[in-house]
Amino acid sequence: MKSILRGAAFIPVLAAAISLVSPTIQAQTDVTPVDSAKYGWKHQAAGMLNLSQAYYDKWAKGGTDAFAYEWNLKGSMDLIQEQYTWETKAEAIYGRTKLGSLASRKSSDQFDFETVYTRLLKIHVNPFASASAQSQFFPGYSYDATANTRTKISDYFNPAYFMETVGLGVEPIKNLKERLGATMKQTVGSYGFQEKGVRTGEDFKQEYGVSSTTEYERALMENILAATRLDVFVNFKGVENIDGRWANKITAKVNKWVNANFEYELLYDSDLSLDTQTREALSVGISFLSL
């Protein structure tokens, strides 16, 4: 926990960055009426529960009982003004799976938080300052089916990643956003980092470099939305120290309460693993929260 607080301590850099990127916001003195439909606070929140269940009793063709669930909570809080925008969003995902007589196992566990302040210069490029945090909620294990044992490979909110960035953003076409800037990155992981595949025994790492974020959303059909996001961080040590995360999601809205979702994610971080990590999920969920 102390290591996590050390990483989180860098987030106040955002406040200093904002003071450099933009002048102090003055109270509006003109008499032009503000369009309340366009400016002000915008809030969104959504919750979904995905379930999967199978049961067999004397089934001649064979089969294994299974039960799985996944909670997905996400929300955003945006302040839109004529001279600036301040966008904050968070998402929490957690799920477990039980197969046959085996104990239940974690199938998904993710927490993402990001806040971005953008100064609107009314030109194609706008300066921004951002801070983000990524982690998980509960420990993770690798399982040995032969020995019937498990080994802990992660812990509560561990590993955790923090990033603070100051740079420039552009939106060349509608719904396509690109940000590029100078970045500080902190990685917390009490299970140690890797240098060329060898554990170093460290539990905290500070890096300086350049990062880019590309986001794009598009409606494939009236009730189908596709979203993709690519995050890249390049350490100033050289291009061989590149971390990348590519997340994709397609959501099909069946009706007000039921959605079908497909997710595909690629992740590479040489500090934790020399392998490219992949995650894929296909689910049908029930929406229990929509604001």
Q: Is the dihedral of CA 177, 236, 116, 190 positive or negative?
A: positive
Could you tell me the pTM of the whole model?
A: 0.77
Q: What is the CA radius of gyration of the chain?
A: 22
Nearest-5° Cα angle at 211, 265 to 248: 20
Q: pLDDT tens across 231-265, in order? A: 999 988 876 778 899 999 999 988 888 888 898 99
Structural domains of the chain ordered from first start: 2-21+41-290 (2.40.230)
Question: Count of CB atoms within 10 A of residue 145's CB?
Answer: 7
Predicted confidence (pLDDT) per residue in 151-190, tens digit: 888 888 888 999 999 999 999 888 999 999 999 999 887 7
Alpha carbons 13 and 184: distance in angstroms, whole number: 10
pLDDT digits (tens, 9 = 90+) for 265-277: 999 887 767 788 8
